Structures are given as C-alpha cells and as structure tokens.
Amino acid sequence: MLKIYRPFYLILGLMCLLPSYVSADYAVALGNKPKYPAGFSHFDYVNLNAPKGGELTLYALGGFDSLNPYLLKGISAAGLNLVFETLMTESQDEPFTAYGLLAEDIALAEDELSVTFKLNPKARFSDGTPVSAEDVKFSFDTLTSELAHPQYRIYWGRIKSCEVLDPLTVRFNFKEKNRELFMIAGQINIFPRHWVGDKAFDKLTNDTPIGSGPYILDDYDLGKNVSYRRNPDYWAKDLNVRKGQYNFNKIRYQYYKDSTITLEALKAGEFDVMGIYNSKQWARDLVGPAFDSKKILKASLSHQNNAGMQAFVFNIRRPLFQDMRVRQALNLAFDFEWTNKHLFFEQYQRCHSFFSNSELAATGLPSGKEKAILEDLQTRFPKDFPASSLTEKWQAVSTAKPHSLRQNLRQAKGLLKQAGWSVPKGKQVLENAKGERFEFEVILSQKAFERVIAPFARNLKKLGIAVTYRTVDTALYKRRSDNFDYDMLVDSFPQSLSPGNEQFNLWHSRSADEKGSQNSIGIKNPVVDALLEQLIQVPDREALLTLTHALDRVLLHGHYLIPHWFTPVHRVVYWDKFERPQTDPLYYRSAQDRALQSWWLRP
C-alpha cells in the first residue's frame, strides 16, 4: 500500500471503549482486566535480555524545520517522540490498557468527573530535574492553548482544567462525564516549564527539547538528518514498561525526497530498515546483490490493527464537490480492480469501511437499535440525512463482473447531468449553467502516486472532467493541507479498535474550519455531530458497535471520498544485522516503530 506522508499528523494512541473501566492503581483499562499483574517483569513482546548498544539508522521523507513537535507551524523532526513521555503508556497487545510511566498511580473519582495522578518520585527530565505536578499542569495548559497545534484543543477539549494538589499529584477536572477522559488524560505529553522559559511556545522551534524519554537530541542538520543518543541516566530504564526496549545507543533519521530514492539509499547501506508501502517496490524492486546474498532481508509482519480508511479525499469546502451526485460520479470513474491487477500485483483489498478489517465496519442493511438510531436522526435532520443509509447496502464501486467501467461511466454521466453539468457543443470539458468548467487539481506528497492518478484522470476525461495533478515538496504540501488549500488529495484515517474522542478531530463540524485539523474533507453535518456526541457516552461494547456502525454507514453514504485499499501485514526490508523478539504485539502501527522500540543489534 502506498503510505501517505503527512509529517504533521499525530496518532494519539489506541482507543478501546469497553463495558466499564477497571482501575488497578498501577494500570487502567476500559472493560477488561489488565493482562499484566502488579509487579510484572516486562511486556511479552520484548526480549528482557536484549543487549544494549550500536546504532539504528532509519529514514524519513521530505524535511524538517522545527524541534518542537507540538506546533501547527513548521514540520517537526522525526523521532521527537523518543524525547518526550506521557503519564501512562499503552500495552501493544491489549485493546486499550495503560500502565504507569511518569505516573505510578491513577484514581478516577466516584462521580467520574475528575481523575487524579500521582507521579513516580523517581521520574526525571534529561537534565536531571524532577518531573513535578507543576510541569504536568504547565504541559496541559500549554498544549490546550492557542499557541499549540489545534488538534490538542479538540482532543482534550472536554477536560476543564488541571490542578496541582501537591508536588507529585495532579487532578484533571472534566466538563462532563466521558468514559474515555480519564484514560486520554494519561496520554498528555509532559515537558518542563524551564524548556519553554520566557519564550512564546509557538516561537520555540530550534531550542533543544527537554523531556523525560529514553533519548536525548544529539545532533541535526535542518531538513537533512537528525540523531538521538540514549540517555545513560534514563530514569525509567529499569521500569517494567521500559525493560527490553530502546536498545540502541543511537537512533538516526536520514531524510530523502521520495520513496524511489529512499529504496536506492537502503540498498547502498545508508540506513537500516524500511517499511514498504508501494506494491511495485515489494513485487519488483527489491532486487540486487544485497538481496541476492541475503544481506538485506524482507519480511511480512502480522498485526491485528483496524485498517481504517485511505482514499482520494474531496474538499467539500469547494463548491465543485458540495453536490453528492458529483462525488458519486467521480467514485464511479475509479477502477480499483484494474488498478489492483495492473499496478498493485493484486496485493490489496478494497477499503470497504471507515473501519476496514474490523468488527466496527457496517455491513448489510441497518436493523434493530442501529436502525432506530438512524430513523431518529432522519426525523431530526431530514435535510442532512443520507436517506440511502437506511434503504441501501453500501458497496464500493466495482468493475468486477457483472459490472464494467463502461457501465459505471454511463451511470456517472447521468449523475453529472442531473447535477447540472454537460459538455457544450464544440467543447470537451463539462460546464454548468454559469459557464464554469469542471476542472480540479490533485496535490500529492509522493511521486509514486502519480501512476495511480494517471489512469483515474483518463477515465475522468472521458466524462468531460479536466484533472491536473502534481507532486509538491513536503513544506508546501503541509502548508496547503493545513490551510485546506486543495481540491483533492490523498489522505488516510487510521483507526483504533474502538472510536472515541479522537473522532471529533476527523469528522465534527467544529474541526472543519480549524486549521491543521484532520477533518480534511470539511464535513459539517449535524447527523455526524449527533452520532459523535452519542458515541463518547455509550455504556458498553454492544452500544459502541451499534453507534460505530451507524457512524460508518452515514459517512459511507455521504460519498465524501473515493476509497482506496489496505493490506493486513506490515511489509519491511532490513539489513541482516539485527535480532528481534520472537513475539510481535497484536497492535502496532509500523515496522519501523517496532524496530526502534524492540529490536537490537546482533552481537
């Protein structure tokens, strides 16, 4: 699968909403008992005896101009997550269970309107200063202010305040009951007040970051490379949630402009590990002396992640795409079966849901409680409700027999005509009654995607639609996507095992005009808003599935995007000088992350 590089995109952890929360002081979970007992030695997916030492060199695409990962402006350096830590850390082989990291104890109030964390007295920042409750409050107040990236205000927007109870104890107060808040409060990244000092936080771009994580910034060349060295005095090196992890003395990221150049750099030995997201590369390009001699190995690593959605995304802020019939027509012009066969070597499955590859995906026609929820929303919001979500089974457009591209294009032509688009005599491009041409641009962040766009553009040309596409550099891509300055782009929406508060940043009306939000589509639909409000209040897993199915169905029938594809494995190539644990976790986002967290250099 082609990976979409959005350097500013932050995944804030796995959400899993289950019947009721469980608190064991050292760990918290929603609805399930923590897998690991109090005093456990280490996570099962690491090697407790992995030797420390050596260097791991990874790659990153594009460039960077900031050492502050929490800003909207600029592109932050890869790997800064190695510097900063959170109050709790999630297990990667449980749906959503968090264990103490900076915090050694957590307690949810009986009224569920606040949660209290007690910090580990051993916790230290890299400069040796203790992590204090004041630092926690400062971090929260800063990240939810106007100076930080707006995604934090959206994600933690239902936390009213953070107050210091004593030097090692903080309490987060909630605006309302919300079953996830006590868990996601533990995901706040903590940094010391003295790192910011007297500077405005949004101007803090090139100051050496100070955190409590296992690594310290070592050296960097803006836009070209950045390296981190393991902190020999790391406070948590003997903590059970850190044992067997972060085994390299040095982590280095080397930057490249595109995936083709990156692969050649790997073959030349410039870096060590590369996740493969391009099917052509996996099928044909992993060749050469180093592969023949097995000096470079390739592997498919299994996982059980929710595949989410990747797609061509309509910017419905643009008048051109506000008519659903137009969006449906463009969907009909994309031939996935041809693309998968001729470009992808039939390696992929079609995204069939915003929660593909999971039980969260809507199937068939709605029934029971889900149908009742949708009927209520149809009554409340008749103008905005997609009526087909109640009466039709959603299916991705297909050219598999008995369907055909010609049949689909004929249907698309009819929809465009209904929407007021036709080709004037003597012309080749559709126009509307105002004489406006049907033309738009697709911006790309990776040149490899041009081979996918080209046949799609040819199909659209048959309908009288003029499409241009171009690959832009990382800085321009970020600026344009942050400001929603595009007609169409390729985007991905990774999903957890269960949706929660993070969904507001993806689909809610209040995020549609928030620069830098992940609502790249620009959805402002009261039906979606109402479903999200219900979603975060569900009492149990059954209700969660019902609401998620309803949300998925409404989004699908809104035809907000053109679905792409997914694969249920992580594909990776790496130089044969590493060892890795025998057991991989169930839920992890990339092979590269897995390598830096748990692999080690062969002695």
Q: Which of 18-22, 472-476, 512-516, 584-588 has the lowest mean pLDDT?
A: 18-22
The more confidently predicted of residues 95 and 338 is: 338
Identify the band that residue 402 occupies on the pLDDT scale cut at 50, 70 and 90: very high
What is the b/e burial string over 411-431, where b = at least 16 CB atoms within 10 angstroms of the residue's CB?
ebbebbeebebbbeeeeeebb
Q: Tokens 């190995």 map to which residue?
A: 297
Beta-bridge mates of residue 124:
130
- Element of type H or E holding 86: strand 85-86
Q: Residue 95: its pLDDT value, please? A: 82
Q: Tokens 């309107």 map to which residue?
A: 113
The more confidently predicted of residues 52 and 589 is: 52
SS (H, E, C) 229-273: EECCCCCCCCCCCCCCCCCCCEEEEEEECCHHHHHHHHHCCCCCE
**pLDDT surpassing 50 at residue 5:** no
Q: Residue 123: its pLDDT value, please? A: 98
Mean local confidence (pLDDT), 130-150: 98
Domains of the chain listed by start with CATH number: 8-40+84-212 (3.40.190.10), 45-62+215-223+239-303+569-603 (3.40.190.10), 309-566 (3.10.105.10)
Q: Which of 151-160, 298-307, 560-569 has the lowest mean pLDDT?
A: 298-307
This prediction has a pTM of: 0.89
Q: Give the residue among 388, 391, 372 at the shortest CA–CA distance from 380.
A: 372
**pLDDT surpassing 60 at residue 447:** yes
Mean pLDDT over each residue of the chain, to the nearest integer: 93
**pLDDT surpassing 60 at residue 10:** no
**pLDDT surpassing 90 at residue 457:** yes
Q: Residue 8: its pLDDT value, please? A: 23
Q: How far is it, in rounded angstroms, from Cα 511 to Cα 153?
A: 10
Q: Mind listing the pLDDT tens digit for each residue in 338-376? A: 999 999 999 999 999 999 999 999 999 999 999 999 999
Q: Mind listing the pLDDT tens digit for each residue in 192-217? A: 999 999 999 999 999 999 999 999 99
Identify the band that residue 26 occupies on the pLDDT scale cut at 50, 70 and 90: confident
Distance of alpha carbon 188 from its chain centroid, rounded? Answer: 17
Q: How far is it, in rounded angstroms, from Cα 160 to Cα 63?
A: 36
**pLDDT surpassing 90 at residue 459:** yes
The encoded tokens of residue 122 equal 């051993």
**pLDDT surpassing 60 at residue 323:** yes
Q: Mind listing the pLDDT tens digit for each residue in 60-94? A: 999 999 999 999 999 999 999 999 999 999 999 99
**pLDDT surpassing 50 at residue 599:** yes
**pLDDT surpassing 80 at residue 7:** no
Question: Do residues 30 and 16 touch, judged by C-beta distance below 8 A?
Answer: yes
Q: Give the residue among 310, 279, 276 at the shortest CA–CA distance from 565.
A: 310
Q: How far is it, in rounded angstroms, from Cα 512 to Cα 113?
A: 28
Identify the band that residue 591 occupies on the pLDDT scale cut at 50, 70 and 90: very high
Identify the band that residue 31 occupies on the pLDDT scale cut at 50, 70 and 90: low
Q: Residue 96: its pLDDT value, please? A: 84
Q: Mind listing the pLDDT tens digit for each residue in 423-443? A: 999 999 999 999 999 999 999
Q: Mind listing the pLDDT tens digit for each residue in 251-291? A: 999 999 988 899 999 999 999 999 999 999 999 999 999 99
Q: Give the residue among 165, 8, 30, 171 at the shortest CA–CA distance from 541.
A: 30
**pLDDT surpassing 70 at residue 6:** no
Q: Residue 577: its pLDDT value, please? A: 98
The more confidently predicted of residues 408 and 29 is: 408
Give me the percent of the chain exceeding a pLDDT of 90: 90
Establish whether the linkage from the previous residue to 494 is cis, with ω within 30° of 0: no
Q: How many CB atoms lie within 10 A of CB 472?
A: 15
Mean local confidence (pLDDT), 242-259: 96
How far CA 415 is from CA of 331, 336, 409, in Å, comes to 11, 20, 10
